[in-house]
Amino acid sequence: MRILHLDAGREMRGGQWQVLRLVEGLAAAGVESTLLARKGAPLFSAARKLGCPVEPLGFARALRLARRHDLVHAHDARGHTLGAIVRGAPLVVSRRVAFPIGASGRASGWKYGRAARYLAVSEFVKSVLVAGGVAEEKISVVYDGVPLLDAPPAPDLTVIAPAAGGDPKKGTPLAMQATRLAGLDLNLSTGLEADLRRGGIFLYLTHSEGLGSGVLLAMSAGAAVVASRVGGLVEVVRDGEDGLLVDNEPARVADALRRLRDDRGLRERLAGAARRTARERFSVECMVRRTMEVYRTVLT
């Protein structure tokens, strides 16, 4: 099996990490992959550093390589458009975002009708695709996979939240307000893996979310998680079992943070359960295995 992957991302966000982990996992399973990524982008550099076959993204190259591969797997919107144009192999499209499909029209209908299969990152994203006119039988849910990070030896009470980079859908102002109300320090992290290894409470607030790969990473590190009760996050965090889900209101978020601050037993119980959830449901191995199952279905 030979897979051509398309990703046009300029930054190394959750989707790009999934592409890198998938290509690595496929190689370990004996599946050949070629990645076309934006030259100079972090994903391009990271793939090259790991020795993964990677070439600059472009129409002519995609057209040529599509004929030499069994499947084309597009991982973002631009990759989807490019994959819909080139011919030569069936198209699989990963859908990670929670916003609705754009207004229907001839071009949009053709693009979304071109894929043989969609990989929705959550049941919530699947429902968005169905609402946008994609046939349900063409959609498979494949959750993100994250590595199991080392649990911190002595976690502190610092609140870690991902730096949103100006994304209006993320809840950075709300996180700042809620941590002040709770009397806790906030670390807006640009390097989650490193910061999570030092321990703390992970706060993930957003107004729209397909799944929440940052939450998965925090759970894998054994962090106590507080997350917004929106989108695919309700499929990841089981409220009161392996994390806390909150409405996007400062007082509600602050209350959840205070509960974790004041109850060490609760913090430790949620953190331990979160780590088990990440290992059992959201491992890289699970993501790769499920993706390969979809590939085989398309090729059958």
Q: How does pLDDT run along the chain (300 residues), one tens digit per residue?
A: 999 999 999 999 889 999 999 999 999 999 999 999 999 999 999 999 999 999 999 999 999 999 999 999 999 999 999 999 998 899 999 999 988 886 444 556 788 889 999 999 999 999 999 999 999 999 999 999 999 888 766 567 889 999 875 566 678 999 999 999 999 999 998 888 888 877 789 999 999 999 999 999 999 999 999 999 999 999 999 999 999 999 999 999 999 999 999 999 999 999 999 999 999 999 999 999 999 999 999 999
- Residue 188 counted as domain residue: yes
Q: Where are the beta strands (DSSP E) in 79-210?
A: 91-95, 117-120, 139-141, 159-162, 186-189, 201-204
Report yes or no on 121 lying in a domain: yes
Q: Do residues 206 and 229 make contact, with C-beta atoms less than 8 angstroms apart?
A: no
pLDDT at 199: 73
pLDDT digits (tens, 9 = 90+) for 108-142: 678 888 999 999 999 999 999 999 999 999 999 99
Alpha helix locations (H) across 86-236? 106-114, 123-131, 172-182, 192-196, 213-220, 233-236
Residue 89 lies in a domain: yes
Q: Are 177 and 249 in the same domain?
A: yes
Which tokens in the block code for residue 286? 């699970």
- Domain check: are 289 and 207 in the same one? no
Could you read off the pLDDT of 222-246 as tens digits, one per residue?
Answer: 999 999 999 999 999 999 999 999 9
CATH number of the domain residue 225 falls in: 3.40.50.2000
Specify whether 178 is located in the same domain as 289: no
Which residues, in sequence order, are bridge partners of residue 7?
37
In a domain, 211, yes or no: yes
**One domain for residues 292 and 276:** no
User: Residue 36's beta-bridge partner residues?
Assistant: 6, 55
Residues 172 and 273 in one domain: yes
Q: What's the pLDDT at 104?
A: 45
The reply to whether 126 and 13 lie within a common domain is yes
Whether pTM > 0.75 for this model: the answer is yes
Residues 287 and 181 grouped into a single domain: no
Residue 152 lies in a domain: no
* Residue 261 contacts residue 205 (beta carbons within 8 Å): no
Tokens of 10: 């300029």
Residue with tokens 């601050």: 261
Six-digit token string for 300: 């059958």
Residue 117 lies in a domain: yes
Q: Using CA atoms, how far apart are residues 297 and 138, in angstroms rounded to an integer?
A: 11
Residues 212 and 289 in one domain: no
In a domain, 150, yes or no: no
Instruction: Report yes or no on 154 lying in a domain.
Output: no
Rounded Cα distance between 194 and 212, Å, is 18
What sign does the dihedral 127-167-14-198 (CA atoms) show?
negative
Is the separation of the CB atoms in 171 and 215 below 8 Å? no
- Verify that 252 and 119 share a domain, yes or no: no
What single DSSP character describes residue 214?
H
Residues 177 and 267 in one domain: yes
**One-letter amino acid of 58:** G
Number of domains in the chain: 2
Residues 294 and 249 in one domain: no
Alpha-carbon span 8 to 69, nearest angstrom: 19
253-285 b/e (C-beta count within 10 Å ≥ 16 → b): bbbbbebbbeeeeebeebbebbbebbeeebbbe
**Domain membership of residue 173 as a residue range:** 159-281
Q: Tell me, yes or no, whether 63 and 164 share the same domain.
A: no
